[in-house]
Structures are given as structure tokens and as C-alpha cells.
């Protein structure tokens, strides 16, 4: 029988959290070509490796912030090539897109000298074009020949240049055509990079990795996460899912914690404050067995200190009225027009060291 366990269902996944979740979650997450995650990373890297071995050019699809650029870097490492990264959304016109990608012949423009484009400069490497759905249709059609046989011509030039470039395009558009022309899409192998909602089990490991990187970037010494991050924090992250901002949301959370550490807070304190603010104190700071017997509270009710905030005072007052049952406290507060979730109430009770009573 496992002690101090909490069973939580997330979608179709049943998660069992132990009092010490470190063997399953956290800093032990594996790294594959820079892609982090004990559960999903290996499968994703295997698919990318298979795509590289196929020799085809790639289209990475997935929501914004899912890690498509990181996947492109992994592809370059697998292929033992240098990665060149550009964002197609930055091109302001068809002419700029054409000249930037394919280069310009001498004498085409009065004030512009002959120059190579991004494709030519990426010779022998991998060219990553993020947000490729922003490329004008004519430019997409010009890419077809390069993808087909490796020949290109600079803008305003008739002589073709042979190039050895592997292409990795990325799009966060819906899957009908991913914002690309039918002909261009037909010449690409599509590989989905799922958002965090599709790899919930890896969120704790990814967050640990990002927090570790943020600490290093800030020039701070390495810090153990064991006491600062517990299973309740990881549970909050996984239930959040970060569907909108994906990895960027985790990155922002890590940066906020490190910012507090830089001002003098210890890691555990900074983590507690940021998580409490982000999740409105709904995470449970500790797992404790319920005490007391049905219908009554054993011992005296701890007296509130003069420093209680409004939430703590509300819960403490309700606790005295309904003898410590979480559901009863929730109903009592709701009758007074105060809406707290059961988890929120439970967390505040833990803060105040209020024992629980099982419903009789």
C-alpha cells in the first residue's frame, strides 16, 4: 500500500502522485538532441530521425510555441549540418521575399550590388523557414524547383546555381494545406510537433529544464529543486496544460521565479509566491493524512494570527462554523457569496494548519 498518494485523472491519463514524485518527474527528464521529456521526447526524436533518413525536405506543423525551431535544430544535428534560421513572416513584400531567399544579380537595382540569398548562403546546411505559410504564392512556386532538383537562379539572372541545402519549413496553420500551395506541400514530408496539451506528462520535466536554464542565464549558482518544487506544483502545471502559449508559458513562469531569486528570495519562497499568484493559491502545498473523526474536530481550532489575509480569514471563520469539512466550508462560503474551489479551501486550510474532518 502506497502512503501519501494522490490519484488525479488528466484527460485519459491516470496519474498517481507519491509524497516524493522525484523518481518520476522533474530534473531526471531525458534530453534527446536538445528535446526534453521522459515520456514523449524519444518517440518524437525517432520520427524526426526517420524523416532525416528519408532524405526528404520537411514541413514541421504544430501550434505556436510547441518547439518547431528546436525540432529543426535537432534535424540539423542528426544530419550533421549547420542550421540557418529565418522567419518568413518578416518579409514585407513579394520582392523582399524573392531577393532575400534567392539573392540578386548584379545591376538589377541601381543601388543594390550582387548578393547571395539565404538559400545560397545555407550551402551544405539546413535552411529553416519558420511561418512559411506567409510566403507569397509566387515565391512558393519558385521554391519548387530548388526542392525538386537543387537548382536556383538569383533574381534578375538567367544562369542557374546548383545548391546542396536541406529545407525545413514550419507552419502553425490548420492542417488542410498548412497555408501552402498544393504543389509545394506535395514535395514535403509533414511532421507534427504537438503542443504541450499533447504531451502533458512531459510538462514537469520541460519546466525543470527551463528553470535550470533560466538560473544559468541569470548567472546564479545551481540550485536543487527537490524542496522548491513538489508534486503539487507539477500537478498545477499539468492541469494548466499551457494550451495557448505552450513552452513559452513555461519559459515565462521560470523567468518570473528567477527574477524573484535575483532580488534575494530563496528558490522555494520564489516558487511558492509565483505559483500562488498564478494559480490563485489553489495548489496544495503539502500532502497530509486527514485527521479527526466524522462530524467533529479533534483538539482546539488554531487561532488566527493578526496577519491573515482575507481568504485565510474567510476560510478560518467558516471552518469554525461547519467543523472542518471541506465540502461544508465550500457551501457555507458560497451561501455568503464567496466562491472558492475545494482545492483552494484545502490549500488555505493547510496554510493555517487546520485539521480536516471526514464527512459522516
pLDDT of residue 310: 77
Backbone angle region of 136, left / alpha / beta, with phi > 0 → left and psi within -120 to 50 → alpha: beta
The answer to whether 241 and 196 are in contact (CB under 8 A) is: yes
pLDDT, tens only, 298-335: 444 454 444 577 788 888 888 877 766 788 888 888 88
Distance CA 62, CA 174 (A): 9
β-bridge mates for residue 118, sequence order: none
pLDDT attached to residue 115: 86
If we measure between CA atoms, which residue out of 251, 196, 178 comes closest to residue 44? 196
Q: Tell me what pLDDT residue 157 has.
A: 80
Pick from 330, 328, 351, 331: nearest CA to 341: 330
Mark the ranges of the chain whose per-residue pLDDT is less than 70. Answer: 1-32, 107-112, 280-307, 323-324, 357-360
pLDDT at position 110 is 61
What per-residue confidence (pLDDT) applies to 123? 96
Tell me the pTM.
0.69
Amino acid at each position: 500500500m502506497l502512503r501519501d498518494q494522490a490519484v488525479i485523472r488528466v484527460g485519459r491519463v491516470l496519474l498517481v502522485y507519491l509524497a516524493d514524485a522525484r523518481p518520476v518527474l522533474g530534473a531526471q527528464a531525458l534530453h534527446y538532441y536538445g528535446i526534453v521529456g521522459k515520456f514523449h521526447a524519444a518517440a518524437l526524436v525517432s520520427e524526426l530521425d526517420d524523416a532525416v533518413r528519408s532524405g526528404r525536405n520537411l514541413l514541421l506543423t504544430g501550434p505556436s510555441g510547441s518547439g518547431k525551431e528546436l525540432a529543426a535544430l535537432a534535424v540539423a544535428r542528426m544530419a550533421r549540418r549547420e542550421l540557418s534560421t529565418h522567419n518568413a513572416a518578416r518579409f514585407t513584400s513579394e520582392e523582399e521575399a524573392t531577393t532575400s531567399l534567392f539573392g540578386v544579380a548584379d545591376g538589377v537595382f541601381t543601388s543594390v550590388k550582387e548578393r547571395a540569398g539565404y538559400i545560397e548562403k545555407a550551402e551544405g546546411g539546413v535552411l529553416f523557414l519558420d511561418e512559411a505559410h506567409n510566403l507569397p504564392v509566387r515565391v512558393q512556386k519558385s521554391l519548387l524547383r530548388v526542392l525538386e532538383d537543387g537548382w536556383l537562379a538569383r533574381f534578375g539572372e538567367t544562369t542557374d546555381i546548383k545548391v546542396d541545402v536541406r529545407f525545413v519549413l514550419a507552419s502553425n496553420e490548420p492542417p488542410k494545406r498548412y497555408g501552402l500551395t498544393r504543389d509545394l506541400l506535395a514535395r514535403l514530408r509533414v511532421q507534427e510537433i504537438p503542443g504541450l496539451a499533447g504531451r502533458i506528462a512531459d510538462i514537469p520535466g520541460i519546466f525543470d529544464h527551463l528553470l535550470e536554464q533560466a538560473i544559468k542565464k541569470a548567472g546564479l549558482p545551481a540550485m536543487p529543486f527537490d524542496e522548491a518544487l513538489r508534486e503539487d506544483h507539477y500537478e498545477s502545471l499539468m492541469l494548466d496544460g499551457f494550451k495557448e502559449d505552450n513552452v513559452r508559458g513555461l519559459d515565462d513562469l521560470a523567468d518570473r521565479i528567477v527574477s524573484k531569486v535575483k532580488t534575494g528570495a530563496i528558490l522555494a519562497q520564489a516558487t511558492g509566491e509565483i505559483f500562488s499568484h498564478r494559480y490563485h493559491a489553489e495548489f496544495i502545498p503539502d500532502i497530509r493524512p486527514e485527521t479527526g473523526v466524522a462530524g467533529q474536530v479533534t483538539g482546539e481550532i488554531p487561532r488566527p494570527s493578526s496577519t491573515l489575509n482575507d481568504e485565510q480569514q474567510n476560510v478560518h471563520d467558516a471552518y469554525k462554523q461547519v467543523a472542518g469539512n471541506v465540502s461544508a466550508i465550500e457551501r457555507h462560503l458560497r451561501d455568503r457569496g464567496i466562491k472558492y474551489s475545494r482545492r483552494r479551501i484545502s490549500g488555505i486550510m493547510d496554510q493555517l494548519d487546520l485539521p480536516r474532518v471526514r464527512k459522516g
